Structure 1
Amino acid sequence: MREAMIVWGGWAGHEPEQCAGIVAGMLVSHGFKVRVETTTRAFADPAIAGLSVIVPIFTMSTIEKDEAANLSQAVRGGVGLAGFHGGMCDAFRDSVEYQFMTGGQWVAHPGNVIDFRVNIARPDDPVVAGLDDFDYRSEQYYMHVDPSNEVLATTTFSGEHAPWIEGVRMPVVWKRKHGHGRVFYSALGHVSKEFEVPQMRTIFERGLLWATR
């Protein structure tokens, strides 16, 4: 049986516990055995090298060097990594090793929760196949991103809340490799209710399964 680990914690405003429950339900429905942890010490466990996929849901926190190193080593060895919004790409601002693995880091969301449009960039990719561009209401993430990411969806900033970034096209969904491991990220999912948006849920669920070893 494939085994997954969800590690949740950090800022409560992102509803990490509720989101962890939703993701755990997804995984169970696909036949996974799910391990749920609430401390970053879980990342230092040598046993994670045998997992199929790891889902961090941990915002604005810190990670010890041995935890980040062991997590990175596990992914380089083939363990999948999948996450969303700040739970993965605003998790550990002081860990460049972690950011090198995930492929991006949040830096701003001008206007906070606003309406914006998500544009499908790779309609031939199975993660987003069959989906059209769609309107979305959430934090529109402005991120520092790795140029090696394979971008699947983007959003364009209007400049209404930060005029100097008008017209900037920003990756929203991407996949990448880290060693032998597959890494998937979606910037959508500020709170648990966003999993009720069909496109958001579909993209994350497909990406999660794609990342899985």
Structure 2
Amino acid sequence: MRSALIVYGGWEGHDPEECASIYRRWLHEDGFSVRTATETSAFADPSIHELSLIIPIYTMSKIAKEEVENLTKAVQSGVGLAGHHGGMSDAFRDAVDYQFMVGGQWVAHPGNIIDYTVDVAKPDDPIMAGIKSFPYTSEQYYMHVDPSIEVLATTTFTGEHADWIDGVVMPVAWKRQHGKGRVFHMTLGHSAKEFENANMATILRRGMNWAARDEQ
């Protein structure tokens, strides 16, 4: 049986507990054994190297050196990493090793909650199969991203809220390798209610399953 760890906490504005509950349900339905933790000390546990998947939901906050070292080594050895929005790509702002692993870091969301479009960049990828471009209402994340990521979906900024970024095409969902581990991230999901969007939920659920390594 594949095994997963969800570590949630940090800034409450991203509904970490509610999102963790949704992930836990998905994982159980998809045949995982699941454990959860609410402290970053869970990342320092040597047993995480035996997992199939780790899901961080921990916006901002701090992570100790030994915690991030053990986490990144676990992923490099083959453990998958997946997550969404600021719970993954705006976590641990001072931990560059963590950001290197994720493949991107949030820096702005001009206009805050706005209407925008999510465009499919790789319709032939199994994670995006059957998904068409769709309207979305949330924070439109402006990211600093690693050029090595494999972009699955994008959004284009209009310049309405920051005219100097008019026409910028920004990754919304991507996958990558970090050592032997697979990493999936999606920037949608400011609130737990957004998981009710069928396109968002489908992409995220497929992405977490893709990232998870097979049973050990």
Question: Could you tell me the TM-score, scaled by structure 2's length?
Answer: 0.98
Partner of 1:141 in structure 2?
A: 141
Counterparts in 2 of 1:147-186, with a 5 A limit? Answer: 147-186=147-186
Partner of 1:66 in structure 2?
A: 66
Q: Which runs of 5 or more structure 2 residues have no equivalent in the other structure?
A: none
CA distance in 2, matches of 1:172, 1:195: 15
Cα displacement string for residues 130-180 of structure 1 (whole angstroms, at most 9, x for unaligned residues): 110000000000000000000000000000000000000000000000000
**Cα shift at 1:31:** 1.1
Q: Which runs of 5 or more structure 1 residues have no equivalent in the other structure?
A: none
Secondary structure class of the residue paired with 1:66: helix
Partner of 2:7 in structure 1?
A: 7
**Cα shift at 1:66:** 0.6
Query: Which amino acid in the other structure matches residue 183 of structure 2?
Result: V
Q: Is the aligned partner of 1:78 residue 2:81?
A: no
**Cα shift at 1:87:** 0.4
Partner of 2:20 in structure 1?
A: 20
Query: Which amino acid in the other structure matches residue 165 of structure 1?
Result: I
Counterparts in 2 of 1:89-128, with a 5 A limit? Answer: 89-128=89-128
**Cα shift at 1:14:** 0.3
Partner of 1:208 in structure 2?
A: 208
Q: Deviating runs (4+, > 4 A) in structure 1?
A: none
Aligned residues: 213
CA distance in 2, matches of 1:74, 1:25: 24
Let me know the Cα RMSD of the aligned residues.
Answer: 0.4
CA distance in 1, matches of 2:162, 2:69: 36
Percent identical residues: 65
**Cα shift at 1:129:** 1.0
Partner of 1:46 in structure 2?
A: 46
